[in-house]
Amino acid sequence: MQPLIDALVYVVDDDASVRDALAWLLRSRRLLSEVFENAEAFQRKLTGNAPPNQPSCLLLDVRMPGMSGLALFDWLIERDLHRAMPVIFLTGHADVPTAVDAVKRGAFDFCEKPFSDNALVDRVEQALAQSQAYTQARRKTGLLQERQAELTERERDVMRLVLEGLPNKLIADRLDISVRTVEVHRARVFDKMEVKSAVELVNLLRTNP
């Protein structure tokens, strides 16, 4: 799998040697990283900021002084950040059952220490690919919402009836306007929604509700 050029891997671990080793490993695979010595520092970085727009994932130690990795994960879930930033837990043998439970609650995966470099990087790249797909879908949904916001109330009425499959004549009857007026509104809807046909409009809204 080719590394994503603008991807970023966050590393949160209280062990400096682990942070350094992971930063070196990721750099050797052409992956950018940013390291944090505790969960609180990473939480401060995210507080008040929008979710990352670039593909990203989080390598998170389960046990740390102060806020634990699990507490940070719960905080991410509450803000729905774990979708844009998949979490891979780093865990010792004793914490495997805890990590398995975290995966059931939405973590991407866990890697038991000492971990295989190749296996870890493979999972990181897969997490980044998932993050990219999620952020692209979120961006596309945002653009679609912006287009819909540009529609007038009458254009929304026409679009709703176009989506129901009604021809212009029936739309005109339903809205008590002329067929020519329906044609004008329909053309404006297609232009603002950036589609060329009713079929494209239906498909666009079906895949991006």
Distance between CA 150 and CA 58 in Å, rounded? 37
Q: How confident is the model at residue 40 (pLDDT cuts 50, 70, 90)?
A: very high
Percent of the chain with pLDDT strictly greater than 70: 95
Distance between CA 164 and CA 162 in Å, rounded? 5
- What's the pLDDT tens digit per position in 43-81? 999 887 766 778 999 999 999 999 999 999 999 999 989
Between strands 8-12 and 56-61, the pairing is parallel
Question: All domains of the chain, ordered by start, with CATH?
Answer: 8-140 (3.40.50.2300), 150-207 (1.10.10.10)
Q: What is the pLDDT of residue 123?
A: 95
Phi-psi domain of 66 (left: phi exceeds 0; alpha: psi -120 through 50; beta: other): left
What DSSP designation does 4 have?
P
